[in-house]
Amino acid sequence: MTLKYYGTSAAEGFPGMFCTCPICNRARQAGGRNIRTRSQALVDGKLLIDFPPDTYLHVLNYGLDLPNIDAMILTHAHSDHLFEHDFGNRRNGFCYWGERYTYHPTPFRVYASAASRKHAETDENKGIAAETNALAFYTVTPFEPFQVDDFTVTGLKANHAPDLEPLIYLIEHNGKTMLYANDTGIFPQETWDYLAKNKPMLGFASLDCTTIALNSTHGHMGFESNCTVKKRLIEIGCADEKTIFCSHHFSHNGLLTYDELVPIAAEHGFLVSYDGMEITF
């Protein structure tokens, strides 16, 4: 199973577009993995996670093969994870499947919680879905596994903007399981109860680390909370010494750049995500 991170920042990007704080300046000067776009990932080359404003940049810079991807799961409808206007570029006349006036044989399927689906399925996108085969929208019910082609996906409740019914995801494919968990603070009790009861053995766990050195437990996590969640996942039998843990989704408000966080994370058995990073487990 392979996860590729295309973007790894929080809403403002890293460095922030308008920001000249010391952390953003250090990131600009260092360059490389310290430069982050808004968060997006791809599982096994097929299942997309989130659709931020930087999606087209990911197509250009990192080879995100959108024409050959026709399914995505949405964590929530905040604008750094959902730029629903670009779904319109999938409609007939804006894209072709090979020859002109030959259209995609399958729709681009968007899976989201009921509340976040309302933001993705705008009147325009609803019309495109109704009139053509370009788009389709589906509601994810928390804690109910569903199939996306040969993936088994389960949305778990996140500790984040409750009005959007945000989700973190268990994803199973070819006998392996991963957890993709941003944006969230330390998981709500319902999610811990589900994990403790079902005990999915994780090969990989990606955890929100938005506030990095300024720890947080609600809405987002910092690195201290990442360590807390890792310990609890091991205690309830969902992870072990073979599980790969990775901190992901970072804000400049967390005070540390990629280069500065890496040695700290390594001491606690964590990788640190960066744009273009690929993990196979």
Cβ–Cβ under 8 Å, residues 248 and 277: no
d(CA 37, CA 53): 9
The pTM score is 0.97
d(CA 263, CA 239): 22
Residue 182 has what pLDDT?
A: 94
Residue 108 has what pLDDT?
A: 97
Cβ–Cβ under 8 Å, residues 184 and 222: no
Query: Side chain identity at 246, as an amino acid letter?
Result: C
Which residues of the chain are modeled with pLDDT < 50?
Answer: none
d(CA 135, CA 131): 9
d(CA 64, CA 50): 13
Residue 87 has what pLDDT?
A: 97
Q: Are strands 278-280 and 2-7 parallel, antiparallel or unpaired?
A: antiparallel
d(CA 257, CA 198): 36
Residue 263 has what pLDDT?
A: 98
Residue 32 has what pLDDT?
A: 98
Residue 184 has what pLDDT?
A: 98
Kindly report the number of other CB atoms within 10 A of residue 192's CB atom. Answer: 18
Residue 153 has what pLDDT?
A: 98
Radius of gyration of the chain from Cα atoms?
Answer: 18
d(CA 235, CA 96): 50
Residue 46 has what pLDDT?
A: 98
Residue 256 has what pLDDT?
A: 98
C-alpha distances out from residue 178 to 43, 129, 244, 255, Å? 10, 31, 9, 28
Cβ–Cβ under 8 Å, residues 157 and 183: no
Residue 160 has what pLDDT?
A: 98
Would you kindly state where each structural domain of the chain is located, as residue ranges? 2-280
Residue 6 has what pLDDT?
A: 98
Query: Side chain identity at 75, as an amino acid letter?
Result: T
d(CA 146, CA 201): 18
d(CA 165, CA 243): 28
Write the burial class of residue 143 (CB in 10 Å: 0-12 exposed, 13-18 middle, 19+ buried): middle
Domain covering 2-280 in this structure, CATH number: 3.60.15.10
